[in-house]
Structure 1
Amino acid sequence: MARIGVLSISDGRDFVARDLVEHITHATTALAEALRKEGHEVIVAPEIVWTNELATSQARWLADRRPDLTIFNYAVWAFPHFTMLAAESTPGPLLLMANIDPAQPGMVGMLAGGGGLDQIGRVHARAWGDIDDPAVRERVLTEVRAAQAVRGLRGSTFGRIGGRPMGMYTAVANTDQWMRTFGVDVEEIDQWEIVRRSENASQARVTQARQWLEAKGNVHYDGKQLTPDLLERQIRTYYAMRELIDEWNLDFSGIKGQPELTTHFCTMDLAEAFLNDPYDWEGPKDTHVCATEADMDGALTMQILKLLSGDPVLFADVRHYHADKDVWDLCNSGQHATWYAARSDDPEENLARTHFYPEVFFFPAGGASVHHLAAPGAATFARLTRRDGRYRMHVMRGDFELYDDATNEAMARQSTFEWPHAFTRLHVPATEFLGRFGSNHIHAVPGDYIAELEAVCKQLGVEFEGFGDAA
């Protein structure tokens, strides 16, 4: 649910403004009720703006309620300087909404006010028409969802566990830039905290978790790389992360893992998968975005996608391209939430399709890989990257695909079979993707969020780079 502020702006001539009150009130009520029916909280400024003093005082009154999005409503011609004064007192995302009525030129007021905002560089979005029109309502709701995500970022904290992994420049971001652009702080935490805190969980709790995994999933012990003791060690790292999240009030996080933990302690595959899941062995829970390899821009992309969709977010390497099928294998060590196996609210459905295999030779410390194949369906793919120090977001559509069992296994074995795989048909030519994409990591959620991501980018001052049919 978003909190939306509505400020209605009118003509500055008193003898005109008096005659427009009923018309404006009717339009404002219709807008507010339509948004409330969508489940949002709507706060309407007590007075219609028709003087410069009201423009400032009513905007400040709304700002004090800290809306996710403020809507300036134009049901009639409105003096443009009222828009400018109100915007000056209105932090956060802004939407100008106008009616289309030949008798009352609200559209003219929106264009005049919006033009003034353009001149001073104030970012805003615009919508026009009857709010009862589904297309118009969706345009407004797109901005609502984007603003809710943007406001959800601001004031949040990212927990960076460990440092730069294996020399990846794209996994490390400037904390000053994060605060300036996104309003996100970074808490630096050493990986030793995971090792140290792993002993804090009670043995009874750890045993119960292991038995749940053995009963619900498919655990393939080999006596070397994966044993009950190693699986319990991985479970303890999950509890260590939950402890860190609670203690440091982390909104999302990333774990370096390689090479220290993966060589000398255990892999973080299990912890990362279940942090991103909407459940664990103790029942339903909130998802917590956790990126492997402490990928900061990856985690930030995931957090935006989570705030937009409410779903677990996929993290993967762009591992392989099957040119004969025009299909990509998006695969990374254990990182995908098990929810992607069936995309079911019932964890048993997802775990029935999940296998916990012994880790491969890359990770001598051992533990379980969390293997499954992403269930088919349309998805939105995105990644924040930087060009010459400035943020941009790569965005594209695609589809997860599955085939017959033999084909699925043959394709998965061409890379690292034990890891999770998302066979993906991107709606962009491979030559364009490989020639432009600015990272080895990519992220996704089911559904179409292209419009919302474009709105998020505009609100944040980030360049939107659509690929293929998202351009």
Structure 2
Amino acid sequence: MIKPTVGLIVFSESLVREDVYRKRRPIAERETKRFVEALEKDVNILWPRSREIRSKAQALQSIYELHAAGIDAAILYVPIFVAPALVAHTANLLRVPFALACNEAEDSLSQLVFLAAGGAIDQIGLKYLRVPGDAVEKSNYNILMNFLRAAAAKRRLKGQTYGSIGGRSLGISTGTADTALVERIFNVDTEHIDQLEVVQRAEAIEQEKVQRYMDWLKDNLAAIEFNNINFTKKHLEKQIRSYLATKGIVESFELDFAGIKCQPELSNGYCLQCINVALCNNNIDADGPKEPIALSCEADSDGALTMQILKLLTGGKPTSLNDIAWISNREMTLANCGSMAFYFGARSKDYHENMAAIKLVPHTFGKAGGASIQFTVPEGNSMTFARLFRQRTEYTLGVLTGKTVIKDRKQQSATIQVRPLIFANININKRAFLETFGANHIHAVEGNIKSELKALSDMLNINYIDYDVASD
């Protein structure tokens, strides 16, 4: 998971009551130590020079220091009774998401000031998290961590650049972006790049490097099923070249994540981009371990943005774009048009195991030819499925969770036989989903990060729909 950088602001008795401060200081130190010991394993704690805030001057200086240090969020911790106005005044100076936290020790009066300070902050009209009880207690601590992870993802997304390589694909309007809206809400710029850039760069890649990637794939994949028609060595070489070209584009244009149109110009005129998408989203390639580049098929802008958010929240895990091939109240079949990160082959730390579960097979579309990536995500994996979509000029984040299962691939429609598949047991209201979900694509990452996604939606002031139905 993402590890937030958090400014910790601890309040104590004011300078004007030194006698009270001396009496209460042992309690404050005890409770602060307890809180810090719980917190430091999951966050990077940044302290201001004043470890105890006892005056407005100290508060102001601490805010300057923490902002300059680049914190993702702040925690206002009240270990004992302190002046509520000082806490609220400090909160009002913060320019990052913040949480108000307390303890429940009977001798601390922490809850008393928590309520008083929270009320004062509410009167100002600030948006923040009140941790509802002892911040170290597990359920409360989880609420705090979900908030802090969301804040970290929000800050790290700010200032990033999305690269749209090509434009709308196959008439899929939900894949297009309102670039001004993306900039306003997410602080993300959009760079438009022609697909010709991929072709020109691809043809300039040295043959030696292409061969090294070819050998790496042959040595590690379960099979490469060439034919004499639309998937030959030459086709695979072009697919490798496309990936290496895209890596270069990401670097040259200073992109953080991207989408590539592929269909129909590249799929008919150069080669299918399935290897490109798989390797970009993967956590290793022939050059060694790497950070996944969230790359969507069909230049799906909101899809790529969703994938980048999932990647950030999970600390850099591979993500995927999937077509919703079939869905019911309890089951879902997802089938990308031909690509998914190799990581999902076995979800192992050992990339050999992941790649050993994968075949490259001739694709069923694309006049230019190339491979599709064939495998089924293994059973027993808890996953989060999410998608940003728009209704007029408002964003909604739709989320559900599920656990992967195995089904007979041969029983699926011929259209998706050659594709990477996810079969998942879910528990949703299908009617509500079909009435409101605003896209044909949904995006997956391992683990359950629904709470972090809800917290992030609240911070971004966008709508959130939890499609999961509580079990009876």
More deviation, 446-455/125-134: 125-134
Alpha carbon RMSD of aligned pairs, Å?
2.2
Structure 1 residues 45 and 297, CA, compared in 2 at 3 Å: closer, same or farther?
farther
Q: Decide whether the 8 Å contact of 1:59 with 1:87 is kept in 2.
A: no
Q: 1:439 corresponds to which residue?
A: 439
Is the 1:36–1:42 contact (alpha carbons within 8 Å) kept by the matching residues of 2?
Answer: no
Q: Distance in 2 between matches of 1:182 and 1:21?
A: 42
Distance 2:23 2:54 in 1: 12
| Residue aligning to 1:245 | 250
Tell me how far apart the structure 2 counterparts of residues 357 and 445 of structure 1 sit (CA, whole Å).
25
Aligned residue for 2:296, secondary structure, equals strand
Out of 316, 319, 326, which is 2:322 matched to? Answer: 316
Asked whether the equivalents of residues 63 and 93 of structure 2 are also in contact (C-alpha less than 8 Å), the reply is yes
Q: Is 1:168 equivalent to 2:183 in the alignment? A: no
Equivalent residue in structure 2 for 1:9, among 8, 11, 14: 11
Q: Where does residue 367 of structure 1 map in the other structure?
A: 370
> Cα deviations across residues 131-174 of structure 1 (Å, max 9, x unaligned)?
54333333322222222211221121111111222332321222
- Give the secondary-structure state (helix, strand or coil) at the position aligned to 1:76: coil
CA contact (8 A) 2:338 2:420 kept: yes
User: Is residue 30–residue 131 contact of structure 1 (8 Å, CA) maintained in 2?
Assistant: no
C-alpha spacing 1:103/1:346, structure 2 compared with 1 (3 Å): closer
Q: Which moved more, 1:182-191 or 1:119-128?
A: 119-128
Tell me which residue corresponds to 2:227: 222
The 1-side partners of 2:397 and 2:122 are apart by 23
Alignment of 1:453-468 (within 5 A): 453-468=453-468
Asked if 1:340 corresponds to 2:344, the answer is: yes
3-state SS of 1:37 partner: coil
Matched, 1:410 2:411: yes
Distance verdict in 2 for CA 1:111–1:259, change over 3 Å:
farther
Match in the other structure for 1:110: 114
Structure 1: how far apart are the matches of 2:32 and 2:92? 22
For the 8 Å contact 1:395–1:470, the answer to whether it is kept is no
Partner amino acid, structure 1, of 2:289: P
1:399 aligns with 2:406: no
Trace 1:52-451 onto structure 2 (pairs within 5 A): 52-217=56-221, 218-309=223-314, 310-321=316-327, 326-361=330-365, 363-376=366-379, 377-403=381-407, 407-411=408-412, 413-451=413-451
Could you tell me how far apart the structure 2 residues matched to 1:409 and 1:121 are? 58
Per-residue CA deviations over 1:21-55 (Å, capped at 9, x if unaligned) read 44333333332232223363442551433333333
**Partners of 1:206 and 1:148 in 2: CA distance:** 38
Structure 1 pair 200/258, CA: closer, same or farther in 2 (3 Å)? same
TM-superposed deviation, 1:112? 3.0
**Separation in 2, partners of 1:247, 1:442:** 29
Identity across the alignment (%)? 32
* Closer/same/farther in 2, CA of residues 119 and 302 from structure 1, 3 Å limit: farther
Aligned residues: 464
Whether the 8 Å contact between 2:147 and 2:452 is mirrored in structure 1 is: yes
**Do 1:52 and 1:82's aligned partners in 2 also have CA atoms closer than 8 Å?**
yes
Going from structure 1 to structure 2, the CA distance change for 1:70 and 1:359 (only over 3 Å counts) comes to: same
Per-residue deviation at 1:119?
4.1
* C-alpha separation in 1, matches of 2:94 and 2:287: 43
So what's the TM-score if we normalise by structure 1?
A: 0.92
Give the partner amino acid of 2:319: V
Unpaired segments of 5 or more residues in structure 1? none
Q: Is the 8 Å Cα contact of residues 146 and 456 (structure 1) preserved in structure 2?
A: yes
- 2-side partners of 1:123 and 1:263: how far apart? 51
- Matched residues in 2 for 1:154 and 1:111: separation? 32
For 1:408, give the aligned amino acid: R
Contact 1:233 1:266 in 2 (8 A): yes
Identify which range, 421-430 or 114-123, moves more after superposition. Answer: 114-123
**Contact map agreement 2:363 2:371 (CA 8 A) in 1:** yes
Distance 1:294 1:113, change over 3 A: farther
Q: CA deviation at 1:336?
A: 1.4
CA separation in 2, counterparts of 1:9 and 1:44? 12
| 5+ long unaligned stretches in structure 2 | none
The TM-score with structure 2 as length reference comes to 0.92
Say if 1:319 and 1:330, in contact at 8 Å, map to a contact too.
yes
Find the residue that maps to 1:198 and give its secondary structure. helix
Q: Residue by residue, what CA displacement relative to the aligned partner does 1:308-346 show, whole Å, maximum 9, x if unpaired?
A: 21321121010124x6x9422201212311211111122
Give the direction of change, closer, same or farther, for the CA distance of 1:264–1:382 in structure 2 (3 Å limit).
same
Q: Cα offset for 1:130?
A: 4.1
Q: What is the Cα deviation at residue 177 of structure 1?
A: 2.0
